[in-house]
């Protein structure tokens, strides 16, 4: 349960929102114009590595939140 705006969960969701807003601005990333860049290996494309790491981190965070709620519902 969230008790204050300084809760770590609230801060992480805020960071996630900032990242999503940055990614959603059209033209922010060259890969939108040069789609062949999608085939560059992650080992040499830092932008791709960062995006993959963020995807793993935030997927795990939201899945854990979902599981927590699911567990509390099942207990009723």
How does pLDDT run across 38-65, given as a tens digit for each residue? Answer: 999 999 999 999 999 999 999 999 999 9
Q: Where are the domains of the chain?
A: 8-75
In angstroms, the CA 54 to CA 71 distance is 25
pTM: 0.78
pLDDT of 1 > 70? The answer is no
In angstroms, the CA 76 to CA 43 distance is 47
CA-to-CA dists, residue 69 to 4, 32, 49, 62, 63, angstroms? 19, 36, 31, 11, 10
């Amino acid at each position: 349960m969230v008790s204050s705006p300084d809760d770590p969960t609230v801060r992480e969701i805020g960071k996630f929102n900032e990242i999503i807003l940055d990614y959603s601005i059209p033209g922010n990333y060259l890969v939108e114009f040069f789609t062949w860049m999608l085939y560059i290996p992650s080992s040499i494309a830092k932008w791709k590595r960062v995006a993959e790491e963020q995807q793993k981190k935030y997927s795990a965070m939201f899945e854990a939140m979902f599981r927590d709620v699911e567990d509390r519902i099942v207990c009723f």
